[in-house]
Structure 1
Amino acid sequence: MQLRRAGAGTGLVDPVPLPDLSSVQDAIGDEEWVLHAASQDLPCLAEIGLVPARVFDTELAARLAGLPRVGLAAVVESLLGYSLVKGHSAADWSTRPLPEEWLVYAALDVEVLVDLRDALAALLAEQGKTEWARQEFAAVLAAGPPPPRQDPWRRTSGVHGLRSRRQLGMLRALWEARDDLARRRDVAPGRVLPDAAMVSAVQADPRTESALLELPVFRGRANRRLVGTWFGALARGRALPEAELPLHSKPGDGPPPVNRWADRDPAAATRQQAARAALTELSEKHAVPVENLLSPDLVRRLMWTPPEPRDPATVAAALRAGGAREWQVELTRDLLTDALSRA
């Protein structure tokens, strides 16, 4: 964990051997924390007892300011003229002790964050978006940790190449075996067995351990020792009853994919098209990405199942109920009401 404070310099804290960080929380808990992509960091920080009272998210600020690229290195280069050192972002940070060059790399990530915060704050003020940013930062802070992801195995890279439910069942069993082993070893799952190797094994459908060992990744020494684990997982998935096989896509509680609307509900398709066009125009006017103007999922839900009556007050209430911030409600309420009136 990297910390930087004016007058104190930069410090690195390893939470692994230091489970009690209450002294850090006491020292900085009431201060504004400057983070890049705060929604990614806040849940991890909360797990070790670190919870800010206020945040300034430089990634989110860059989006609101209309910068074309919002990665940390790109924003720093654009606004401050510095080039950040690259090279260790994909490293295994569970390694201990961490090499000195990795520590330097980590420290440099926060070296200019406060300066970047000030530059972005000035840019937002110049554009009249300071209040928008304040509301967005408060929403990020209030969101809390995301709920556990349902069917996380579906995020396996290459899963869309599997055509049958039987193959999906085999992949799920293999993913669960890998995840269990990774947890026990406290390493990233991809370092235990790459996604591509799992998909390849499912597609090959080996019927013996020897056949599994013929596949490229499984020929290595580490996976030869684990061949029983991997083959057993494939066999379990292959033997599942039809009723227990996963569906091709998990059922959702929202509207169907937009590309099916024209057939299923032409009026909804007309409303969605009008809303999308209006939001795109508004996005260009204010130099804010469409997805930051309003959650695309919220727009789809509104257009698929319109609130009644279809007037600005009802639309505003629906937007607030869906989590929209006041600045978003004020900007989009009328144009969405107009879109709802199209059909």
Structure 2
Amino acid sequence: MVVSHPPSEPRSTVISYRVIDTAEDFLDACRTLGAASGPVAVDVERASGFRYSSRAYLIQVFRRGAGVFLFDAPEIDDFAPLMEAIGDAEWVFHAATQDLPSLREIDLVPERIFDTELSARLLGWPGVGLGAVVERTLGIVLKKEHSAADWSTRPLPQAWLEYAALDVEHLLDVRDAIAEELDLTGKADWAAEEFADELTRKPKPAPAEPWRKLNGLHKIRGRRGMAIARAFWNARDELARSTDTAPGRLVPDRSLVAAVAAGPKTKAELGALRDFTGRASRTEINRWWQAFVDGRADTDIPLERVPSDALPPVRAWSGRRPEADARLKAAKPAIEAHAEFLSMPTENLLTPDHLRRVCWQPPQPATAEAIAAALKSHGARDWQVAQVSPIIEKAFVQATQSPAEATESA
């Protein structure tokens, strides 16, 4: 346990941080947290750039009257005691969408949340990273040098543990300052809707063909090349999963694509490619060459392009559906102007894809009420719908008018 001090007071002594990794210490920590009251600050450290999974490796929890606790997640079999201790409290996050999935994997699911990062966006603050928000609200400068560290490392260095503790130690004071600002600007109810959406949002379904997410796949030509890329991706994914290593650390996407595009005729040619790099590019050369052989012999050749429900690129709208292009060109700047008036990023006022979809396929008739229903069906929140539906209705009318009519109605 780490007993915290008021954020405004400098530390007078060096604090030694300890990771909780035994059942006894874990239960003691849960009892201490349960005996305190009020919201809890929660953060998660992962090792996504190093490991195959996005599991939690360190969980930081802070509660006033209890202190900071650093839990070694892989060493704790059952987090039910922690849920019992803090499950009914408000959990405060900075960028909750990053942490909630890994917490759900170990059955740590809050009932209600407060997101300081999302709140800062709604308030239109120029810097929304934790360091910028802490400095703006509390005047404290945080060092962020370990944000990309390999948190699966054991033992964790003291400097890393201090960094992790500070991620939550000031968060409740930040939450209080931001909540006051949300009230003053009339955005508290909007933030509450956003928090509820974050908490209940369903994860995106896994793609049917995950290998098509390969960065640079568009550079591969021909269906046979796609078959080789698929075989290579599957071979890399199998090795990454079995060794719990991030796939890109074995062979980066750019190297995989470069190798497929080069079309080596032999294993020696593959090994000689300068652009074929990565820690496992040569040590696993037999694996990669077998993937080439399998891809070249595969009779189940994939299509170069697959059907998608994604909208066409906006640049193609004027030729494919000019009336939709006119609607978007009228609505987009109007939404941007209203976002500026509300002092928030346009994408927080309305998700760009929601606007594009309602412009591409508007309801008939395109009244504000019908537009509102369409936006809600795409996932827009009530507060967003109330703000933008009349603006979009007016923009759609202007999109059908002649220049003279638009000037007259302005």
TM-score between both structures, scaled by the size of structure 1: 0.92
The correspondence of residues 149-164 of structure 1 with structure 2, limited to 5 A, is: 149-164=207-222
Letter in 2 for 1:108: L
1:93 to 151, 172, 178: 151
Say whether the 8 Å CA contact 1:254–1:301 is kept in structure 2: no
Match of 1:232 among 282, 285, 290: 290
| C-alpha displacement of 1:167 | 3.5
What is the SS of the residue equivalent to 1:12? strand
2:325 is equivalent to residue 269 of structure 1: yes
Q: Distance in 1 between matches of 2:279 and 2:122?
A: 50
Distance in 2, matches of 1:204 and 1:90, equals 33
User: Is the contact made by 1:274 and 1:339 (CA closer than 8 Å) also made in structure 2?
Assistant: yes
Q: In the alignment, what sits opposite 2:307?
A: 251
Task: Return the alpha-carbon distance in structure 1 between the equivalents of residues 219 and 285 of structure 2.
Answer: 23
> 1:59, 1:71 within 8 Å by CA — same for their partners in 2?
yes
CA distance in 1, matches of 2:226, 2:161: 41
Partner of 1:104: 162
Secondary structure of the residue aligned to 1:244 is coil
Provide the residue aligned with 1:286 in structure 2. 342
Does the C-alpha gap of structure 1 residues 60 and 308 become closer, same or farther in structure 2, counting only changes over 3 Å? same
Name 2:96's counterpart in structure 1: 38
Q: CA deviation at 1:118?
A: 1.5
2:69 matched to which residue of 1?
11
Q: CA deviation at 1:216?
A: 4.3
Question: What is aligned with 1:58?
Answer: 116
Q: 80, 83, 87: which one pairs with 1:29? A: 87
Letter in 1 for 2:356: R
Distance 2:248 2:62 in 1: 32
Higher helix share: 1
- Deviation larger for 133-142 or 102-111: 102-111
The answer to whether structure 1 residue 189 and structure 2 residue 243 are counterparts is: no
Query: In structure 2, the residue corresponding to 1:2 is in which secondary structure?
Result: strand
Q: Does 1:137 align with 2:195?
A: yes
Is contact 2:368–2:390 with CA below 8 Å preserved after alignment? yes
Write the deviation string for residues 186-223 of structure 1: whole angstroms up to 9, x where unpaired: 22222222223212322322222222222347688854
- How far is 1:309 from its partner? 1.7
CA contact (8 A) 1:218 1:227 kept: no
Between 1:45-54 and 1:137-146, the stretch displaced more is 137-146
2:236 is matched with which residue: 139, 154, 178? 178
Partners of 1:220 and 1:252 in 2: CA distance = 32
> Post-superposition shift, 1:5?
1.0
Q: Which moved further from structure 2: 122-131 or 163-172?
A: 163-172
Equivalent pair of 2:228/2:292 in contact (CA under 8 Å)? yes
Match of 1:199 in 2: 257
Does the alignment pair 1:328 with 2:384? yes
Structure 2 vs 1, CA of residues 218 and 255 (structure 1 numbering), >3 Å: closer, same or farther? closer
Q: Which moved more, 1:207-216 or 1:31-40?
A: 207-216
Is residue 72 from structure 1 mapped to residue 130 from structure 2 by the alignment? yes
Name the aligned partner's letter for residue 350 of structure 2: L
Q: Which moved more, 1:287-296 or 1:142-151?
A: 142-151
Q: Which residue of 1 aligns with 2:11?
A: none
1:160–1:123 distance in 2 versus 1, CA, 3 Å: farther
> How much does 1:165 deviate?
4.3
Say if 1:264 and 1:73 are closer, same or farther in 2 by CA, change over 3 A.
same
How many percent of aligned residue pairs carry the same amino acid? Answer: 49
Matches of 2:350 and 2:293, distance apart in 1: 45
Corresponding residue SS for 2:204: coil
CA contact (8 A) 1:62 1:70 kept: yes
Shift of 1:333: 1.0
Q: Quick one: structure 1 residues 274 and 110, their matched pair in 2 at CA, closer, same or farther if it must change by over 3 Å?
A: same
Shift of 1:10: 1.0
CA change 1:62–1:152 in 2 (3 A) is farther
TM-score, length of structure 2 as denominator length:
0.77
Q: Cα gap change, 1:272/1:231 in structure 2, threshold over 3 Å: closer, same or farther?
A: same
Q: CA RMSD in A?
A: 2.1
Counterpart of 1:317 in structure 2 is: 373
- 1:213 aligned partner, one-letter code: G
